[in-house]
Structures are given as C-alpha cells and as structure tokens.
Structure 1
Amino acid sequence: MGIIKKTFYTGFLTGASVLGYLGATTTVDSPLRRDDPLFTSKSFVKHNVYQNASTQDICTKRIPLNKIKPELLQKEGALALELCRGVWGGLGYRFQRSYLARKYQGPATAGQLWTVDQLSQSEYEPGTQLTDHFEVVEKTPTEIVVRCGDTPRNQGNRASDGLFVISATIDEKHGEAVLGVKSCFFNSEKKVEGIQGPMPGFIEELHRWYSRVLLTSAAWRVTR
C-alpha cells in the first residue's frame, strides 16, 4: 500500500506541476471578440453557411524575441510555418496522431500526412490533408488555417465542423513573438437554433487544456 500511495502522490504532484506550468505560460480567452477577423474570413463564411453558434477560444503564448531561433525572424512566414510544423509534428499531437493512424491510415488516405517526419517538414500549402482529420484551407505569412471536425474526404457540410488558426506575429513594442492556436467549432450541416456552441462544457474545458499542450510543445520547435 505504501508504494501505491507514493506512486499516486508522485503522479498527482507531477500532473499538478504540469497543469500549473501550462496555466502560467499560456493564456486562454473564450469566447473570441466579436470583431475577431476569423468571423469575416473566407473560410468561416464558406463553411459556417447557416451562421450557427460556435464554440470558440484562443490560446496564446508570448516569448521574448531573443529566445526565438534567429533564422525564423529573417524570412516572412517562417515563424508561423515552423510553429504549424511544431503543432502537428510535436509531442503534444503524438497520441492523437497515433490513434487516428490506427483507425484511418490506409490506401484511401495514402496521400495525406501521417508520419512525424511528414508533419514536421510539410509546407502546409492549402489543400494539404493530415491524419484524415485536418485540411489546410488558408495560408498567410502570419496564419495557417486548418479545417477540422471530420475527414477531409467529406468536403461538404458536416454535423461536426470547425477551424484551427495557427498564428505567429511579432510585438515589436514589447520585443516578443506572439504565438497562438485559435479554435472555432460549429455545425455546418443544418440550421441550429440558440446561442450555445456544439461542445458540452466539460469537453470545452478539456479542449482548452489540449490547446495549451499543443501550443506549448509547438513552441519548443521555434525557440533556441
């Protein structure tokens, strides 16, 4: 019993430390501001055809510029691209990647990105599909927008639909890189009455912590 108790408390303290670190080094805001550019983006307008209510949040992490790899600050778009590679090829996505690979990797999805190497080296141009669950739909020097919620083989409206926006901008005034993972989930299959998004409250909270994990592990890829 002593060993079991010791193991339990060690695991509990480790988990608490990880959550404390994630909470201290990232910020989550929900819902998004009404004037957030996502709501007027071509991807949101195209896919949320019924203008249904959505579950939304943004996770951000600020890092001093002197801790960012210098080569990522010398070429336009390099920082956002490398952050995107870190999100999908990083440690935070490993479990979900492995789960989706076991279920969906095969001849029908052979043209998608599946391996860590593929996910870590892709240019993430629009049309890129990954792990049968995501597809790049927009790319700018500061943002890469990924559609989610269902297999990208379903190009139509979906009961489960959404967008991820992976972003990296420079705050010159404070000398920081501002890294972000923005999420917006909605039903695009039919009109849904009400103002409540599709995620239950406890799933929404778990998603926010998952966003923190994805962003934190991705940030390791862009820092010295």
Structure 2
Amino acid sequence: MGIIRKAAAGVTVGTAAALGYLHLATSIITPIPLSDALYSSSSYKKYNPHQNAATNDICVKTIPLSRIRPELLQKEGDLALELCRGVWHGWGYAIQRQYLHRKWYGPETSSQLWTRDQLAASTYDVGTVVTDHFEVVDRTPSEILVRAGDSPREQGGRPADGLFAIGAVVDHDAQVARLTLKSCLFPSHCKVESDKGPMPMPVEILHQWYSRILLVSAASRLTR
C-alpha cells in the first residue's frame, strides 16, 4: 500500500506540474471578441446560418523570434502552415487521432490524412480532410480555418458543428511570434433559442485545457 500511495502521489505531483506549465505557457481569451474577423468571414456565415450561440475561445502562445526556426520566417505563410502541421502531427492530438483511426478508417476514408507522416507533410489546402473529423475550409497566409464537429462526409447542418482557426502572426516590433488556436463551436442543423453555447461549463473548461495541449504540442515543432 505504501508503494501505491507513493506512486499516486507522484502522479498527482506530475499532473499538477504539467497543468502548471500549460497555464504559464499559454493564455485563454474567452469569448472571442466580436471584432474578430472570424465572425465576418464567409465560412462562419455559411456554417452557422442560424447565428446560434457558440462556445468560443482563443488559446494564445507567444514565442521570441530568436527561438523560431529561421527557415519558417523567410516566406509569408510558412509559420502558420508549420503550426497547422504541428497541431495534427504532434503528441497533443495522438490519442484522438488513434481513436478516430480505429473508429472510422476504411475504404471510404482512406484518401484522408491519417498517419503522422501524412499530417507532417500536408500543405493543408482547402478541402483537405484530417481523420474524418476536420476539413480545411479556408486559409490565409496567417491562418488556416478548419471545420470540426462531425465527419466531413456530412456536409449539411449538424447538431455539433464548429470552426477551428490555427494562426501564426509575426510581430517584428516586439520580436515575437503569436500563435493562436481559435475554437468556435455551435449547432448548425436548426435555430436554437439560447444565448449560451452548446458546451456546459465543466466540458468547456476541459476543452480549453485540450486547446492548451494542442497549441503547446504544435509550438514545439516551430522552435530550434
């Protein structure tokens, strides 16, 4: 029993340390400001036609430019693309990727991105599908917009729908790169008469921690 207690204590301390690191390494902005370009985008209007309330937030991480791999700063768009690769290729997404592979991989979905090598090399053009759950629907040099919530094979309205925006902007004045993962989740299949998003608070908090994990995992791909 003493060994079990010591092991449990070690796990508790390790978990607390990991959560502490994630908290210090990232910040959460919630809700997404109404001035954000996401709300005026054609994708938001298309996929949330009923203007239903959303569970939404932005996870932010800032990295000094001196730590960024120099080749990612040579051409506009390379930093955001590499961050997108890191989100799906990194350890943060590993468990969900493996779960979706077991559940949905087959002849109908074999042309999608499933392996870590595929996820690390894709250019994430519009129409790219990740593990039968995410589809790139728009992109700019600084942000790649992904539809989420259900299989891209279901193109209509969904009880669970949403957009993820994976972004990277270089601030030369401050000499930092600002990395963001925006989440905007909503039902799209019908009008919902509620001013609250679909996630209850405990689930929303867990979602925010998952966003932190994905962003920290992805950011490690950008640094020297």
CA distance in 1 between counterparts of 2:171 and 2:28 reads 18
The correspondence of residues 201-212 of structure 1 with structure 2, limited to 5 A, is 201-212=201-212
Q: TM-score scaled to structure 2, two decimals?
A: 0.99
1:170 aligns with 2:170: yes
User: Which consecutive unaligned segments of at least 5 residues does structure 2 have?
Assistant: none
* Number of the residue aligned with 2:15: 15
* Number of the residue aligned with 1:68: 68
The correspondence of residues 134-149 of structure 1 with structure 2, limited to 5 A, is 134-149=134-149
CA deviation after TM superposition for structure 1 residue 173, in Å: 1.9
Q: CA RMSD in A?
A: 0.5
* Number of the residue aligned with 1:196: 196
1:109 aligns with 2:109: yes
CA distance in 1 between counterparts of 2:155 and 2:180 reads 26
> Number of residues paired by the alignment?
224
* Number of the residue aligned with 1:40: 40
* Number of the residue aligned with 1:220: 220
CA distance in 2 between counterparts of 1:176 and 1:52 reads 35
CA deviation after TM superposition for structure 1 residue 192, in Å: 0.4
Alignment partner of 2:125: what SS?
coil
CA distance in 1 between counterparts of 2:133 and 2:91 reads 18
Q: List per-residue Cα deviations over 1:179-216 (Å, max 9, x = no partner).
A: 01000000110000121001111110000000000000
* Number of the residue aligned with 1:3: 3
The correspondence of residues 62-101 of structure 1 with structure 2, limited to 5 A, is 62-101=62-101
Q: List per-residue Cα deviations over 1:79-122 (Å, max 9, x = no partner).
A: 00000000000000000000000000000101110000001100
Give the counterpart letter for 1:209 in structure 2.
W
CA distance in 2 between counterparts of 1:37 and 1:140 reads 12
Give the counterpart letter for 1:149 in structure 2.
G
Q: List per-residue Cα deviations over 1:119-145 (Å, max 9, x = no partner).
A: 110000000001010000011110000
Alignment partner of 1:162: what SS?
strand
CA distance in 2 between counterparts of 1:172 and 1:120 reads 27
